Amino acid sequence: MYEGVRSPLIYTPRTIGEFATVIRRHPQAILWAGGTYLMSQPDYYPGEAKDGIIDLSHMEELKRITRNDRYVEIGAMVTARQLLSTGRLLLPPILQQTLQSLGTQVVRRQITIGGALCISDTRLSLSTTLAVLAASAEVKLYNDSKVTTHWIPVAKLYDKEGKLNLGSKSALLTRIRIGLEFGDFQRFVLFGDPIRKSSECGIVALHAKREQNSLSKVQFCVTFPRKAFHISKDIESKLSGSALPIHPEKVNSLSYELVAELTKMHNTISDLQLERARRIFESFLHDLNSQSLS
């Protein structure tokens, strides 16, 4: 069918040590986790894989879910379906909702946590939600014979356009860590299709804690899959410490402040995406007010 096309070499490490050996010899190899994103692209095969493909599916140590009194750790090769079933009692509602948004049951059976976070140029729902949950990722960087391990906040894995930002070194995300102290106000909305119609899509998430009649520990992120990964420290600061209910004028002011920030920093976002994100953010705050008055 594809005359003259040579199949790439496939490497199947079974441990982190074996992976280190392979990646040193083939630093440009494609890392294959669940394959759901790569195979959704129109030119996924035949494709360029000059240094071969490293299949991570045999690395059992990346498929573990563990917890202690302070946090839960989730291996990079844990699938969305596995996490939804095994970790249901551990996960905050916002993360469960996000995992359920990752396509059909068939897709969730294949899509992996690490794979969803490490698409080079596109941000999906999981990155947005883990950012507002203040999750961290363990990343191993391979540079010649040296391996360094870093815990990096998920919010800092990407640049402002949402592109993966791990430098020029070969890297492997091995697990994520999520604290077990969650705020009691969690909201997540995905509009549009992030794969088929990414230019019309947006993801908005907010996580906060209500203490008596005030708001604290506000984390907010809005993402446009191929355009922006936006965390507004200014808006988070203005919301943290706010008395409840938040005055309607402040709600309106903050929603337009968000639009101004996005317009200034990300000029490729369409007016429709901006308006939908603004209204969703505003609805979060109105919902927060309603709950505080009930």
**DSSP state, residue 152:** E
Per-residue pLDDT, 2: 45
pTM of the shown model: 0.90
Per-residue pLDDT, 167: 74
Closest CA to 33 of 72, 66, 78: 78
155: number of CA atoms within 13 Å, CB side?
A: 16
The token duo for 272 is 């429709």
Per-residue pLDDT, 49: 55
142: enclosing H helix or E strand: strand 136-143
Per-residue tens of pLDDT for the chain, all 294 residues: 444 445 678 899 999 999 999 999 888 888 888 766 666 656 555 455 567 889 999 999 999 999 999 999 999 999 999 999 886 778 899 999 999 998 778 888 889 999 999 988 888 899 999 999 999 999 999 987 789 999 999 999 999 988 998 876 789 999 999 999 889 999 999 999 887 788 889 999 999 999 888 999 999 999 999 899 999 999 999 999 999 999 999 999 999 999 999 999 888 999 999 999 999 999 999 999 998 887
Per-residue pLDDT, 45: 53
Per-residue pLDDT, 126: 95
Residue at token pair 């984390």: 219
